Chains A and B, each alone.
Chain A
Amino acid sequence: MMAQDIENEPERIPPDNVPSTELEMATFVGIDNELAETGMGPPVGSAPMAAKTEFRIVAKRFFRHKAARAGLIVLALIILLAFSSIGFGPIPGWWKYDYTEFEPTLTDGGAPTLSIFPPAWGDHPFGQSNEGRDYFALTMRGLQQSLIIAFIVGIVSTIVGTVIGAVSGYFRGRIESVLMRFTDVMITIPLLAIAAVIAGQIGGSGIVGLGVLLGLVTWTSLARIVRGEFLSLREKEFVDAARSVGASSRRIIFRHILPNTVGVITVSATLAISGAILLETALSFLNFGVKSPDISLGLLLQQYRQAMDVRPYLFWWPGVFIVLISLSVNFIGDGLRDAFDPRQTRAKA
């Protein structure tokens, strides 16, 4: 009864003034936004009352969460450092060495020159690798690659998980059975094994391919969460109200129900990113992920694990960044979860 009416409504591009809560989801919410435009448009005649939008309430609560605030700052600094130092693509960075440059002689046996007191970078702040490469540039390159993979995984798994969860939760019946059994099968396959096998075959397509691949195997938990949300939201009267005026299933899913699940989706997406960092590290460590001569944090760990005894800094620098990224992303996820939790609106002791 509901399945057949995903029909020919013209696809619309989201305008710039969609509510900001939905902006991040715009990739798959970007439908039927003209209504939003009218509602949000410039006031005609009387001045609009300052509506406290959901987004502003959530942002306010998020910034009250100290750990989340710190996590956001640390993550922003790490991203800034990674991409500005050695540059990205054609854009040059401010750091003097490139990660591909070799120096025939090691300065001071390759030890780090970074000193906290007196504060100074020195020539090779993180030291030099065995082959004489600047380890700071190398770590920054690894950081870039790991971050890119993590965000691709986060986006891909969020989109796939949301769509599968939404469709199976909304339509129920056979569609739900098929999709959820498929999800069960995906869950039973050991993630590391499947990633290792396929990553070995598509290894040539680089980090983007790896990111998409990991995204395609890690969406399962989000699909289940979104399905649960849809199961409860589809029984709400506002969904009936939309159905009673003849809204299409697609409109109900994307315009009515999905915006109400932004909370759980955002939280899951954040946590998926931190999971992806760790997964990529593990794969690269096992030599299934990013392949030399390209570099990632996991690969750095793998290459220099023997140096642990003699030159431990080659192991510690990538390690520290992995811990920092996943910790700060987890804190952000925590803060978002608290901020979206409706029980928080009541009162705080």
Chain B
Amino acid sequence: MTVGNVFDPVFETVRSGEPILKVRGLGVDFSVDGSWVMASEDVEFDINPGEVLAVVGESGSGKSVSAMSILGLLPQNARVSGSATLLGRELIGVREPMLRAVRGKEIGLIFQEPMTALNPVLTVGFQINEMLLSHFDMTPDESRRRVIELMKLVDLPDPEKRFDLYPHQLSGGQRQRVMIAMALACDPVLLIADEPTTALDVTVQAEILDLLRDLHHRLDSAILLITHDMGVVADLADRVVVMQNGHIVETGPAQELFTYPQNAYTQDLLAAVPHLGSEIADAATPDGRDDRPTDWALEVVDLVLEYPGRGRVPPFRAVDGVSFKVPQGEILGLVGESGSGKSTIGRAVASLLPITDGSIKIAGRDIKGLSQRDLMPMRRKVAIVFQDPASSLNPRMTIGESIGEPLFLHEKLRKGALAGRVEKLLDSVRLRRDYRYRYPHELSGGQRQRVGIARALSLGPDLLVADEPTSALDVSVQAHVLELFKDLQEQYVFACLFISHDLAVVEILAKQIAVLHRGQLAEIGSRERILRDPQDPYTRRLLAAAPVPDPAEQAIRREGRRALLAAGADPDDDVATA
């Protein structure tokens, strides 16, 4: 134990074996337009010293709201009832100064998005320092020493130099480490981590989870982990609380809950999580190279894509020399982490970005340098489904108008004929016909994404570009959308470029997988070969980092990953993006 317990006046209490945090009958309501709306109700759990408790649920389940209510960090229009006691002291309904003394000092908080949770105009050292100075009487020298000690604790390389850097000069993983250092600054007895890895890439996520596990063992602090990701839960949690619609539906030790889920909702939730390796488990390894007909829906040859520079800023090369082919009626999964250029390729294929060099051929025709007029017939053949269903539909247009727009522009359909086609499309994505009179904000995320798919299919495209169509959705919704997608693909037989950061999702759909790494193709091959026998070191790291929703298997995978890293597959990803 390197971090001094001198800062820890409650250290003895922690040792006594009483629960650190006792939550009883906690309820949160929000006042919306004059009436109270329940966000969570009857939430009860204990956190024991040295325990990791995960609160799991989908969006709207009340998991974050419950945790924030403990710290009194809810908006003005919230009403909290029930009780939460930290080491015997009540936290609900007490006055602000008392809560301020608890925040940061006894309960540390790690937020989801380190870029927005850190102040961009202050150095990271200053921000960690602020935590110390607001709770302890320290000289500047003392506190600086302590900050550097903390930065060492969270494995930030070169802490003296990092002290004076600004958040944008650090990589995403390093920023999250700074957040963790801030949360740990006052040796809290409890750490609340609200979706600590959701904004991070899988390889970075694995490193942050390792750090949290390591710190948890070394400092013996309790962690309240709030997440929607079953893989993260399996990796870290001792006990799990499952929430749905503001209520706790099941509580239990992690291993037990994953193996024998009792509640129907928990069972559904676990079944909905894509499990890496499950699709190919019983499929035979294909024998070598398969000889296909040369009927390609999409051919990409030596593609180079650049974002133009401005003034003295040189152009940014997002994609560099990528080649792959998609046969007619087949799905190719394009996998990569953020910044790998996967979405850029998708947009170039949909003719939304100019091609710098190389070529993109759709059904044999090169789209490079075509004018808008010449592109029109090509646009019928290629459609795109976007990542965020909330922003890909025009909020001022009805669903019917959005779906009908391609038909309106290309087939010049009007009125009755258009309405008929729109209703058929709504049928095919299993939405009610009268939804065409609705506006996007009246639909749920999953329904909106179905509308996005219906719009993409309206002209019967030969090639569909799906740019992370499910990454903004909850797992159970994602499962339904993926199933629908699979059915539609079999029904309409279109070729598809399926872009995703999630190998498990790609595994469900794609026959071929291409792995992108920093704008270059790391590896391409059949699904079975990529997942079973990856050749490229980056692919191996990516596979090893993806968590699976099973604690036992995850523990084995963790060891495997450690061995892989130790064997010298360089963990080079945590590089500052500045």
Contacts and interface: CB of A to CB of B under 8 A. Distances in A.
A71 to B, nearest CB: 23
B394 interface: yes
A245 B409 contact: yes
Contacts of B11: none
Given A35-B404, A37-B415, A39-B400, A240 B437 contact: no
Interface stretch (B162-170, B346-354, B543-551): B346-354
Nearest to A41: B415
Nearest to B31: A347
A242 B401 CA distance: 12
B354 A241 contact: no
A51 B396 contact: no
Interface of A: 1-2, 4-5, 19, 21-22, 34-41, 43-49, 51-54, 236-238, 240-247, 251, 256, 259-260, 262, 346-349
B384 interface: yes
27 contacts: A21-B396, A34-B408, A38-B400, A38-B401, A39-B400, A39-B404, A41-B419, A48-B434, A49-B435, A51-B438, A52-B442, A53-B439, A54-B439, A237-B386, A238-B392, A240-B352, A241-B386, A243-B352, A244-B350, A244-B351, A245-B379, A245-B409, A247-B409, A256-B394, A256-B397, A346-B32, A349-B77
B387 interface: yes
B207 interface: no
Contacts of A240: 347, 350, 352, 384, 386, 392
Interface in B391-420: 391-398, 400-402, 404-406, 408-410, 414-416, 418-419
A36 B396 CA distance: 10
Interface residues of B, number: 58
A51 B442 contact: yes
Interface stretch (B15-23, B136-144, B177-185, B369-377): B369-377
B394 A244 contact: no
A22 B398 CA distance: 14
Contact of B415 (A34, A243, A346): A34
A49 B438 contact: yes
Given A5-B372, A46-B433, A244-B352, 18 more contacts: A1-B354, A4-B371, A4-B372, A40-B398, A44-B416, A49-B435, A51-B442, A52-B442, A236-B392, A237-B386, A238-B402, A240-B347, A241-B386, A241-B452, A246-B375, A251-B409, A260-B395, A347-B33
A260 B396 CA distance: 6
B388 interface: yes
A348 B379 contact: no
A44, A48, A245: residue with the most chain B Cβ atoms closer than 10 Å: A245
B151 interface: no
A261 B119 CA distance: 30
Contacts of A52: 439, 442
Interface string B334-370: 0000000000000100111010000000000000000
B455 interface: yes
B404 A43 contact: no
A5 B436 CA distance: 29
Contact of B77 (A44, A236, A348): A348
B419 to A, nearest CB: 6
B383 interface: yes
B401 A237 contact: no
A240 B402 CA distance: 13
B126 interface: no
A251 to B, nearest CB: 8
